[in-house]
Amino acid sequence: SAVSEHLSGIDQKPPLLSIGIPDAYGKAGSYESLLKKRQLLPNQIANTIKNRYYSHRNDDDVSLICILADIFL
User: Is pLDDT above 90 for 72?
Assistant: no
d(CA 17, CA 11): 17
User: Is 65 in contact with 46 (CB distance < 8 Å)?
Assistant: yes
User: Is pLDDT above 80 for 66?
Assistant: no
Is the pTM higher than 0.75? no
Count each helix (H run) and each strand (E run) in the chain, helices first: 4, 0
Chain centre to alpha carbon of residue 8 = 19
Position 61 scores a pLDDT of: 57
Local structure of residue 38 (DSSP, 8 states): T
The phi and psi torsions of 34 (rounded to 5 degrees) equal: -70, -40
